[in-house]
Amino acid sequence: MCGIAGIVSLDGKRPVNNLLLEDMIYIQSHRGPDEGGIYLDEGAGLGHARLSIIDLSTGGQPMTNEDDSLWCVYNGEVYNYLELRPELKRRGHRFRTTSDTEVLIHSFEEYGVKAFDDFNGQFAIAFWDKRRKKLTLVRDRVGIRPLHYAIVDNQLLFASEIKAILLHPKFQPQLDPQALDEVFTFWSVLPPRTMFKDIHELPPGCYLTLQDGQIEIKKYWQPDLPSADNEDQRSLPELVEELKELLRDSTIIRLRADVPVGAYLSGGLDSSATTAFIRNYTSNPLKTFSVAFEDKNYDERDYQVQLSNYLRTDHRMVSCDYERIANIFDKVIWHTEKPILRTAPAPMMMLSNLVRDNGIIVVLTGEGADEFLGGYDLFKEAKIRWFWSKNPDSKWRPLLLERLYPYLAMSPAKTKMFLRAFYRAGIEHPDNPQFSHIQRWLTASKIKNFYTSSFRDTIGDFDPTANYINTLPSEFQNWSYLAKAQFLEVQTLLSSYLLSSQGDRMAAANSIEGRYPFLDHRVIEFASKLPPKYKIKGLVEKYILRESVKGLIPEELRKRIKRPYMAPDAVSFLHGSIPASIKESIDSKAIEDAGIFNAGAVTKLHEKLKSLPSERIGFKDNMSFVGILSTMMFYDQFLVNFGKNSSDMIDKWRDRIPRIIYRGEHGHKREHPAIHYR
C-alpha cells in the first residue's frame, strides 16, 4: 500500500511545480507514512508516499533502472517478483536492490506493455521513459489498487486518490450528476467516470500512455468466460485438487513481506479458508482480526472465536455499535471520495485501525471468492429465476425462493405475494443482459425519487443501465446465466465498491495493506472456466470451495450457509448522541443549498425512520437514507470545504513526514513562486 502522484506536461517542456507535487504526496500520506519521494525531469515529476513492506532499507521510490532512463512509482505488490528476477538477470539487467519495484522496472524495460501479463499482484504503476518523454500508467487486472488522472492546464495529473488532483490551483471541482446517478443504480460510479467532472479513473486491466501530447488507453486483460459448451469438463475431484493447490500457492505467495502479516477472520467460509491455508501450510505465527457487532442481527463473533480456537491463532476483535459507526462516518466519506449506500465500510475502517494498533500492516482477506466461485444470494436468485423463466406461470417454481429466503415462508400472504412479484420482474426475458441484477439496480434507483426536478434536469436522458449494457463484450450472450451474473457483479460492484470503498480506502486510512488470495489471476482464470454446477450445487453456494477445504476447518463452518457481511445502516444515525456532522448533513437548509435532494421529502423520510423499530426499516429506506446522508457529506467535504479540509490534512502529514527525498539529476527543490495554490 502506497500513494503515487505525478504531473506531466503535454508539451513535454513545462516545468513541474514541485511544491504542488509535494502536497499531492502529503495529502495521500495515510497510504504511505514511512517516506516521501520525488523525481523531477524536464516537463515531468513523479511522487511517492511509501508504506515500507519489501526491502525496507533500499526500496525507496521513485526508482530507476541502471542508466536512469526509466523511472517508476508504484502502489501495490507484485508477488511473483522473485520468480521474474532470474530471467531478467540472465538477459543482462543489473539490480541494486531486493525490491519488487526494481523487477517491474526491468520487466517493463525488457518487454514493454507485454510485461503486465507476467505480473501476479495488485498494482497501480507509473513508468516515465526519460528518453522518449513517454508516460505509461497501468492498473491491475481487477482494480484492487486505485489510479485516477485528469488534464488540467495542459498537464496530465495522476494520483492514487482524487484529493491529490483537486489540489491543482486551476482545477475547479464540479459534481458529475450522471456519476451520482450511477451510484444510485450500481452502488458506485463505474470507471472511467468519477464523482467529479473531468477527473477519470483508469479502468481495471487497462494501461494509459501519454507521448507527444497524445493519450491512448488500451485493455490488456478481462475475465475470459467460456460459452456453455466450452467449460472445463474434468471431474470434480480433479478440479477440487487444482483449486486447493492454486489457493495454497496464492495464499503463501501473498505472505511475502519483510514485516509481519495477519489475516481477517470474519467467521465465513472465505476468510476461514485463507486463514486455514496459512495455518496448515506455513509455520508463520498468525494474528487474526475480526469485527463483532453489539446488534446481534449482524454479529458473528461465536463463529470467529470457534475458528480462531480451532486454528490456534492470536485473535483480536473490535466491537462495533451504532454510535461508533455514526462517529466515524464523516471520515469514511473523506476516504471513499464518493457517496455510499451502506455503512459496511465503517466497521472495516475500525478493523484496519485495530490491525495497525497491534503492529501489523499487511492482512490477508477473503474478497473475490463470492464473485468468482458463486457465493452471493444474487447468483442463487438468478438460478431460481432462470429456472422459473422456463415456465413463468408455474406455481411451484417460485417456491424455491422460500428455500433461499426462509422468511418468505413465514411472512403474511400479502408480503409473500409482494416479494414474489418483486422477483418475478423481467422473468419473461432471461436473455436480457441485466436479468440477474435488475432487482438490485431497481431497489437502489428508488433513491432517485428524492431528486429535485432541477437536479434531474441536469442528468437529462442519461440511463446508467443502458449506458453500461452497451459496453458489454459481444460474446456475453453466449455465456451461462451464472457467467453473465458474475461478469456484471465483477464489473459493477467488486472493483468500484468492495475493493475500493469497503477495501482499499478503509485499509489505507490506517496505513494497512490488504491482500487477496482469491483474486490471484490464476485463481480467477481457473474459476471462470468452471461449470455452474460446481459453483452452486442445488442452492449450496461455493460448492467446490467447500470441497477444497475439507479437513482444514471445522465441518460446522465448512457447511454453514453464507451470511452476507452487513452493518447497521440508517439506525446508526437515528438515536442517541448524534454527531454534529450528521445533523449538519441532513439539515434542511444544507440540503436546499446543495440542490440535489428535495429537502421536504428527506425530512419526511428521516421522521419516518425515527418512528420505526430498526427491524422494520426496509432495504429501500435504509439505502435511501444512507445514500442521501453520504452524498451530503461528500458535497460538503469536496465541493464546499475542500480547501480547508485539504490544508488541515497536508499540515498534519507535513509534521509527521517533514522530509521528502528528491531523486535524479534534478534531485533538488525547484521553487515556482508564480504558482500559488494554497
Q: Is the pLDDT of residue 17 over 80?
A: yes
pLDDT at 440: 93
Q: Is the pLDDT of residue 409 over 60?
A: no
Going from the C-alpha of 574 to that of each of 202, 566, 586, 603, 611, the distances in angstroms are 38, 18, 11, 12, 9
- On average, the pLDDT of the chain sits at 92
| DSSP H helical ranges for 476-520 | 481-489, 505-508
Q: Is the pLDDT of residue 463 over 70?
A: yes
Q: Is the pLDDT of residue 410 over 80?
A: no
pLDDT at 672: 44
Confidence class for position 408, pLDDT limits 50, 70, 90: low
Confidence class for position 388, pLDDT limits 50, 70, 90: confident
Judgement on whether residues 121 and 146 belong to the same structural domain of the protein: yes
Judgement on whether residues 286 and 427 belong to the same structural domain of the protein: no
Q: What is the CATH number of the domain that holds 367?
A: 3.40.50.620
Is 295 a domain residue?
Answer: yes
pLDDT at 666: 59
Q: What is the CATH number of the domain that holds 214?
A: 3.60.20.10
Average pLDDT for 577-596: 95
CA-CA distance, 32 to 527, in Å (whole number)? 33
The least confident of 127-136, 434-443, 452-461 is: 434-443
Judgement on whether residues 216 and 189 belong to the same structural domain of the protein: yes
**In this prediction, what percent of the chain has a pLDDT beyond 70?**
96
Q: Is the pLDDT of residue 667 over 80?
A: no
Is 273 a domain residue?
Answer: yes
E-only strand ranges, 338-466: 362-364
Judgement on whether residues 285 and 366 belong to the same structural domain of the protein: yes
Is 639 a domain residue?
Answer: no
Average pLDDT for 352-365: 96
* Total Cβ atoms within 10 A of residue 306: 17
Q: Is the pLDDT of residue 396 over 60?
A: yes
- Domain ranges, residue 520: 228-373+487-558
pLDDT at 49: 95
The strand order across the sheet containing 261-264 reads: 314-320, 287-293, 261-264, 362-364, 513-515
pLDDT at 669: 52
Contact of 247 with 548, CB cutoff 8 Å: yes
Contact of 519 with 142, CB cutoff 8 Å: yes
**Cell numbers for 140:** 491491475
| pLDDT, tens digit, 9 for 90 and up, residues 297-342 | 999 999 999 999 999 999 999 999 999 999 999 999 999 999 999 9
CA nearest neighbour of 146 among 203, 211, 93, 105: 203
| pLDDT, tens digit, 9 for 90 and up, residues 495-553 | 999 999 999 999 999 999 999 999 999 999 999 999 999 999 999 999 999 999 999 99
Q: Is the pLDDT of residue 446 over 50?
A: yes
CA-CA distance, 532 to 406, in Å (whole number)? 24
624 residue type, one letter? S
Judgement on whether residues 248 and 350 belong to the same structural domain of the protein: yes
Judgement on whether residues 86 and 216 belong to the same structural domain of the protein: yes
Q: Which one is predicted more confidently, 427 or 455?
A: 455
Average pLDDT for 398-424: 69
Average pLDDT for 250-276: 93
Judgement on whether residues 164 and 280 belong to the same structural domain of the protein: no
Confidence class for position 674, pLDDT limits 50, 70, 90: very low
Average pLDDT for 85-107: 96
Burial class (CB in 10 A: 0-12, 13-18, 19+), 280: middle
pLDDT at 399: 78
Can you list the pairs that 95-101 forms with residues at least 24 positions away whose Cβ atoms lie under 8 Å?
Answer: 96/58, 96/66, 97/55, 97/58, 97/59, 97/63, 98/54, 98/55, 98/58, 98/59, 99/54, 99/55, 99/58, 99/59, 99/63, 100/54, 100/55, 101/59, 101/61, 101/63, 101/72, 101/74
Q: Which of 206, 222, 238 is the last residue of a domain?
A: 222
Is 591 a domain residue?
Answer: no
pLDDT at 643: 93
CA-CA distance, 353 to 361, in Å (whole number)? 10
pLDDT at 430: 87
Average pLDDT for 98-104: 95
Is 25 a domain residue?
Answer: yes
Judgement on whether residues 273 and 418 belong to the same structural domain of the protein: no
CA-CA distance, 403 to 414, in Å (whole number)? 19
Judgement on whether residues 144 and 273 belong to the same structural domain of the protein: no
Judgement on whether residues 552 and 413 belong to the same structural domain of the protein: no
Q: Is the pLDDT of residue 63 over 70?
A: yes
Q: How many domains is the chain built from?
A: 3
pLDDT at 676: 46
Q: Whole-angstrom distance between the N-terminal and C-terminal Cα of the chain?
A: 27
Is 573 a domain residue?
Answer: no
* DSSP string of 41-92, one letter each residue: ETTEEEEEEE---SSTTT--SSEE-TTS-EEEEEEEEETTHHHHHHHHHHTT
Could you tell me which residues come within 8 angstroms of residue 648 by beta carbon, excluding any fewer than 6 positions away?
A: none
Judgement on whether residues 276 and 133 belong to the same structural domain of the protein: no
pLDDT at 563: 83
Q: Is the pLDDT of residue 54 over 80?
A: no
Contact of 152 with 174, CB cutoff 8 Å: no
* Total Cβ atoms within 10 A of residue 92: 9
**In this prediction, what percent of the chain has a pLDDT beyond 90?**
81
Q: Which of 408, 441, 474 is the last residue of a domain?
A: 474
Q: Which of 222, 253, 274 is the last residue of a domain?
A: 222
Is 543 a domain residue?
Answer: yes
Judgement on whether residues 11 and 101 belong to the same structural domain of the protein: yes
Is 594 a domain residue?
Answer: no
The least confident of 96-100, 164-168, 407-411, 440-444 is: 407-411
Number of H helices, E strands in the chain: 29, 18
